[in-house]
Structure 1
Amino acid sequence: MPRPMKRSSTSYHQFVQRIPSDVIAKARGRTLVIPVGSETVTLALSAKAQDVRLSLRTRDAAEAKLRQAAVLGYLEGVWRSVREGPRTLTHQETVALAGDWYRALVADWSTDPGKAENWEAMRESIVDAQLDLVREDTRENWEQLERLIRPDPFLAERAISLEGDGRQRFLMEAGKALTQAAAMLQRNADGDYRPDPDAARFPAWTPPVPALAPPRQQKGEQRTVLAAFSQMAKERGYAPKTVSEWTRSLSSLTDHAQTTALTSITPDHLIGWTDELVARGLSAKTINETYLASAKALFRWARGKLYLPSNPAFETPKIIRRDDESEKRGFTLSEAQTILRKAEGARTAVRRWVPWLLAYSGARAGEVMQLRPQDVRKDEESGIWVLDITASAGRIKNKASARLVPVHPHLIEKGFVTWATSSKASRLFYEEREDEAEDGKRSRKSVAVNRLADWVRGLDLPAVKSGEVSPNHGWRHRFSTELVNLDVPDTLRKRLMGHTLEGQDNRYVGRIVMKRLHDAVAKLPAFALTDDAENRTE
């Protein structure tokens, strides 16, 4: 092993190693982040670099030998990763690799973690960077997250090179792992050494075998976009609603590109496709979260499977429009009365009750549509009638969406509770279909939600027809606005609507007394549907 060197201009020991000839061309231009003792040294290799030179930052000969060995080990990992090229990791492998970092960080620091506030600051800075990315997916925000996480020394030690989508996926999972480790070490610093209950979420990390080139397709054989998506959907267990929506989205892409071949889709096709969607008047939210999301997910997956030489959707930008979803509003009183008046005489349970439930609960249409008879019940402690919105009834948006929403007194007066609790059906508003999650068709819940929206559109309300108000979600906007106007505290409003509380509230606000939630809902005046009813104000 080469020994540390001395230079006349400094008393520090120096590290010098020639770059191996088989990697020098690819190594030039790279920036290395090299561990030296307890610090890291950033070193950019120039276009003419022949070797790696840096100070070991110690005058002690024994310590210099230890640092020399550490740098050599790091560089050997770098050269090996350059030889093997970028790796493609599955999602599970990415989480496992992040877990390996979590375990290494905790092992290195748990015996003497230092000050708790240092770990808290680290955790908050990474979380802030991740939130910036959620708000705006830009190159600058990715670079900020990379500067905070500094993954290269860790990756080099494991001889792994990640680029493009694979690197971004690892940055996000590493960010989660490091914030989890920082929280654990913060507790250690405060004297709490209980095991981390979430540490078991990480799979074991097994270094992957370099991928082989995919077998050549026979002449005339070609993988299509929809065939690839079908394979991906089965592999990932997508919900029927997602399969249905994304199939339509990807079909519109192949129609635009005038080809169904997966390998024939180009970045220009994707740019032209999104431009066409904008010209059709679709909202940025719909384009980004349905159309573009389906394409980006498919081509990222296909690249990972080595079905494609590169990802054509990697740099396709999201659509940003000033006049988009922020302008959506809730129903006015007049619009709400028009819909509820029609609901009064409806023959189907969906049209008869769901608009009323949306008006008085602020729930999402899917949450109401999947209610079962047992989900309309009395709260055990308070005896108040509630809608139990729970994941056991079907898919909900997130953890905060599981909640109890008190039934408005007007709904009880109208007979909803009596009707719901006497039902013998498994669902209040649709009949379940066997194996619907496996046949790729849209779920009965989604069909019922869409049909209700179509029915509202058919009532000829100008704001609904123009898109200013969403036919189902307009109730949620109205409910939120009404509670604000009635001075209902923000914490109660968010709990009723299934929103995640922000900041310290999310950590410290626990279970809210049901009577307070009931009183907040009961503040909403009952809808009067007579033509001369003017007993409510906007």
Structure 2
Amino acid sequence: MKGHRYLYRRGEYLVFRRGVPKRARAAFGKTEVLTSLGTGSISEARHLLARELEKFDRLLAEVTGTRSPAVVLDTIKREPTAEEAEEGVRLWFAERVGRLVDEVNTITDEDRAVDLMRDYDALSGDAAAGMRIGSESAMMTDWIVEALIERFGWQIAPSTPLHRRLTKLVGRGQMEAARRFAQEANGDPVRVLDDTFSPEQYRLDAERQRERMARTPVSMMGLFDGYAKERKPAAATIKAWRRQLSAFVAFVGHDDAAKVTPEDVVAWKDHLLHKAGKDGSGLSAKTVGETYLSALKTTLRWAVENRKLPINPAETTRVRGAKKVRKRGPGLTDVEANLILKATLTPPPPRLSSERVLARRWVPWICAYTGARVNEITQLRAEDVAKVDGIWTIHITPEAGSVKNHIARTVALHPHLVEQGFPAVAGKATGYLFFDPLRRRGGSDENPQSKKVGEFLADWVREIGVDDPDVQPNHGWRHRFKTVSRNVRMDPEIRDRIQGHAPRTEGEGYGDVSPEATLREVSLLPKYEMPFDGC
């Protein structure tokens, strides 16, 4: 099990497994120790594992004459209230019942069901006997109590009233769990005989939890750190969202997400729409909704999913701005496409670096024939251009840099790119084709060199006359590819795979698209006829 050395899962149970050193195998009588811990719960198994480790190390020390290392458990933090202790037991009980229901649903052998029934009855009997006055609590009950104390960071001294109360609650939970198993196994109606574990108590627990969370400060930036650590978004996304969340914190005047109200979010939205622009006129509805509010909503949604907050105060906030009026489509026109491609064949400025000369010459052509995102092409390496099954391809992979869907894809090169000699150019190079990592000056993961190459190309395209603000100089190729591919009746599924778009259905996500299939489809695209003299 990840994070737990010597702990393995075997079917529904966890086991202790540890190899025996050669010098001690005669005494152990085996090459490894393999012992079932009798539970599927990691929190329960950790204490059982500690005991098995202690026994193993003690015997090893006796055999080898070495000192047995101490088993160190986590530092316990504070004493809970009786109410919190009871809530903790109910949480453990709910998890235990969930596992036993899964057990029942997966049993196909009646003898197995009978054996499990006996096991649960035995555990229930041991727990009941241990609860009688003057009796010692059952060993399994004690182990569960210790696991709960460690799990919640409680400080409860043995033999105290709170410890005895906790032990009795766990014992009652074991008895109720045995009854629940019998009900589930026999198909009987579920009846809770111990009110401690009734639905009403769980409702009250949830209500108290919400109240406590409302009183406990929760750092907004801390929540984002938690989200970023788990989700691992792109470095550029982390940088942008951290800036946007910092703007929200500055606007409301505090960093406590638990105090944020829906009214705070609406007020921030209005501020962004009407005052936050550089000239004081505000940001566009698209920017506010898809950038600023998106960062806030996603972070708070993660907080709710991970029980850091009871509700997401930004969930229902929407931006209802007027749609932007477009006088044209977002794709490059025939005239614009030909203007750019013709310009790639003109002599470059004398002081332009060799990498940028290659970028200016080849990136627009590759985008034209693949519909790829410009930064997926500007981060191509020489080894990403290769023959696969006799077909020249490019391999767009997250190993080279950011890929939006985080999935690598291999796309056949259009025959016209091969005809122009792009594979030969790539074959003479090593490493990145369109920038030199050694020339990096103050760049970062959030603003990589490949992105700077894309920005250079966008500026150059504007300079040569493609200056309509309704078309993006690089992304326009991506829209144009979709238009042209429809005109030539390219297979929609393969077209989307070529461009790295998400499958439209679950079925389309199955299997791979071969270089042969992508070559067949990209070859449908008509050649861009240009004068290639001297190029």
TM-score (norm 2): 0.51
1:115-141 CA-to-partner distances (Å, cap 9, x unmatched) read xxxxxxxxxxxxxxxxxxxxxxxxxxx
Amino acid of the structure 1 residue aligned with 2:403: I
Residue in structure 2 matching 1:377, options 355, 364, 386:
386
Correspondence for 1:481 among 477, 480, 483: 483
The answer (yes or no) to whether the contact 2:414–2:522 under 8 Å persists in 1 is yes
Partner of 1:471: 473
The verdict on how the C-alpha distance between 1:278 and 1:352 changes in structure 2, with shifts beyond 3 A counting, is farther
Q: Residue 315 of structure 1 corresponds to which residue in structure 2?
A: 316
Cα deviation for residue 387 of structure 1 reads: 0.9
Hey, what does 1:329 align to over in structure 2? 330
What pairs up with 1:22-421 in 2 under 5 angstroms?
69-70=190-191, 76-85=197-206, 214=216, 229=224, 233-234=228-229, 237-254=232-249, 257=251, 259=253, 261-262=255-256, 266-278=261-273, 286-301=287-302, 311-317=312-318, 319=320, 322-323=323-324, 329-345=330-346, 346=348, 347=352, 348=356, 349-379=358-388, 381=389, 383-398=390-405, 401-421=407-427
Q: Separation in 2 of the partners of 1:266 and 1:451?
A: 43
Tell me the distance in 2 between the aligned counterparts of 1:441 and 1:504: 32
Partner of 2:166: none
TM superposition shift of 1:75 = 9.7
Alpha carbons of structure 1 residues 282 and 325: separation in structure 2 relative to 1, 3 Å: farther
Cα displacement string for residues 185-225 of structure 1 (whole angstroms, at most 9, x for unaligned residues): xxxxxxxxxxxxxxxxxxxxxxxxx98975x7xxxxxx875
Report the CA distance between 1:375 and its aligned residue: 0.8
| Residue 238 (structure 1) shift | 3.8
Alignment correspondent of 1:8:
none
* Structure 2 residue aligned with 1:46: none
1:390–1:309 distance in 2 versus 1, CA, 3 Å: closer
Q: Is the 8 A contact 1:284 1:324 kept in 2?
A: no
- 1:344 is paired with a residue whose SS is coil
Q: CA deviation at 1:312?
A: 3.3
Comparing 472-481 and 236-245, the one that deviates more: 236-245
Q: Deviations over 1:117-168 (max 9, x none)?
A: xxxxxxxxxxxxxxxxxxxxxxxxxxxxxxxxxxxxxxxxxxxxxx9xxxxx
Q: Deviations over 1:222-272 (max 9, x none)?
A: x875576456545654431112221332344356x2736445754334224
**8 A Cα contact 1:329 1:469, kept in partner:** yes
What's the offset of the Cα at 1:337? 2.2
Q: In the alignment, is the contact (CA less than 8 A) between 1:406 and 1:518 conserved in 2?
A: yes
Aligned residues: 336
CA 1:261/1:68 → structure 2, altered by over 3 Å: closer, same or farther? closer
The aligned residue for residue 490 of structure 1 is 492
Quick one: structure 1 residues 495 and 307, their matched pair in 2 at CA, closer, same or farther if it must change by over 3 Å?
A: closer
Matched residue type, 1:242: T
**C-alpha distance in 2, partners of 1:87/1:372?**
57
Aligned-residue RMSD, C-alpha: 4.7
Residue 204 of structure 2 aligns with an amino acid whose one-letter code is R
Change (3 A) 1:82 1:244: same
Deviations 1:333-367 (A, max 9, x none): 11112333343344413333222211111112232
Structure with higher RCO (Cα < 8 A, 6+ apart):
1
Distance 1:289 1:519 in 2: 37
CA, structure 1 residues 491+272, in 2 after alignment: closer, same or farther (shift >3 Å)? Answer: same
Kept in 1, the 8 Å contact 2:396–2:408? The answer is yes
Give the counterpart letter for 2:289 in structure 1: N
**For the residues of structure 2 that align with 1:311 and 1:293, how far apart are their CA atoms?**
12
Quick one: structure 1 residues 309 and 495, their matched pair in 2 at CA, closer, same or farther if it must change by over 3 Å? closer
Deviation at 1:79, TM superposition (A): 1.7
Contact 2:393–2:515 at 8 Å: present in 1 too?
no
Between the aligned partners of 2:516 and 2:189, the Cα distance in structure 1 is 67
What amino acid sits opposite 1:461 in the alignment?
A: V
Contact 2:466 2:473 in 1 (8 A): no
Larger Rg: 2
What are the superposed Cα offsets for residues 403-435 of structure 1, whole Å, 9 maximum, x if unpaired?
2211122222333222222212x3222345899
Percent of aligned pairs with the same residue? 34
Q: Is the 8 A contact 1:213 1:306 kept in 2?
A: no
**Shift in Å at residue 483 of structure 1?**
1.1
Please say if residues 240 and 440 of structure 1, whose CA atoms lie closer than 8 Å, have aligned partners that are also in contact.
Answer: yes
1:439–1:331 Cα change, 3 Å: closer
Q: Give the aligned partner of residue 443 of structure 1.
A: 448
- Does the aligned pair in 1 maintain the 2:234–2:402 contact within 8 Å? no
Cross-structure match for 1:430? 435
The gaps in structure 2 that reach 5 residues or longer are 1-82, 84-182
Q: Are the equivalent residues in 1 in contact too, given 2:458–2:473 (CA < 8 A)?
A: yes
Deviations 1:171-198 (A, max 9, x none): xxxxxxxxxxxxxxxxxxxxxxxxxxxx
Alpha-carbon distance in structure 2 between the residues aligned to 1:299 and 1:503: 29
Give the whole-Å Cα distance in 2 for the aligned partners of 1:232 and 1:435: 30
How far apart are 1:313 and its partner, in Å? 1.8
Q: Aligned residue for 2:518?
A: 517
**8 Å contact from structure 1 (residues 243, 440) kept in 2:** no
Rounded to whole Å, the distance in 2 between the matches of 1:325 and 1:87 is 52
Mapped to 2, the partners of 1:502 and 1:372 lie a distance apart of 30
